[in-house]
Amino acid sequence: MITQFEVDNKIPIQSIQLPSLLLQPLVENAVNHGLFHLQHKAFIIKFDQGIDNTELVITIEDDGIGREKSKEINNNSSEPKESYGTKLTKQLIEIFREYEKMDISLVYTIRIS
């Protein structure tokens, strides 16, 4: 597996907070569900400064089979269901928003090459 980490050197590490356990289920899902079924595997995690020095943008990219195809392979039911990791991550984000007053958002995008 090809793994690459890219960190923008403009990130002011003194003013950025990254909550514990926020990335772990997202990275695990990308590896287990996106890359597991492939021979050639590439995985990139990027840390970039956002619009100002209080924003951190984290991108997890993989060349996996995609979320929909993974659901088809791993799910015998025809009803779509949210993964346990996704559900826990959303709950964790809500906790950080409420108790730590952190503005966190999660966006899934599909890039078609």
Q: Is the pLDDT of residue 109 over 80?
A: no
* Residue burial 56-73, b: 16+ Cβ < 10 Å; e: rest: beeebbbbbbebeebeee
Query: Considering the entire predicted model, what is its pTM?
Result: 0.70
79: left (phi over 0), alpha (psi -120 to 50) or beta: beta
Instruction: Give the pLDDT confidence score for residue 95 in this predicted structure.
Output: 94
Instruction: Give the pLDDT confidence score for residue 65 in this predicted structure.
Output: 61
Q: Name which of 18-22, 64-68, 106-110 the model is least confident about.
A: 64-68
Q: pLDDT tens-digit profile of 58-83?
A: 888 776 666 666 666 666 555 556 67
Which structural domains are found in the chain, ordered by start? 2-99 (3.30.565.10)
Q: pLDDT tens-digit profile of 24-39?
A: 888 877 777 666 666 6
Q: What is the DSSP string of 69-99?
A: HHHHHH--SSS----HHHHHHHHHHHHHHHH
Q: pLDDT tens-digit profile of 38-60?
A: 666 677 889 998 888 788 898 88
Distance in angstroms (rounded) separating the CA atoms of residues 72 and 77: 9
Q: Is the pLDDT of residue 97 over 90?
A: yes
Closest CA to 60 of 35, 97, 92, 87: 35
pLDDT level of residue 84 (50, 70, 90 thresholds): confident
Instruction: State whether residue 108 is helix, strand or coil.
Output: coil
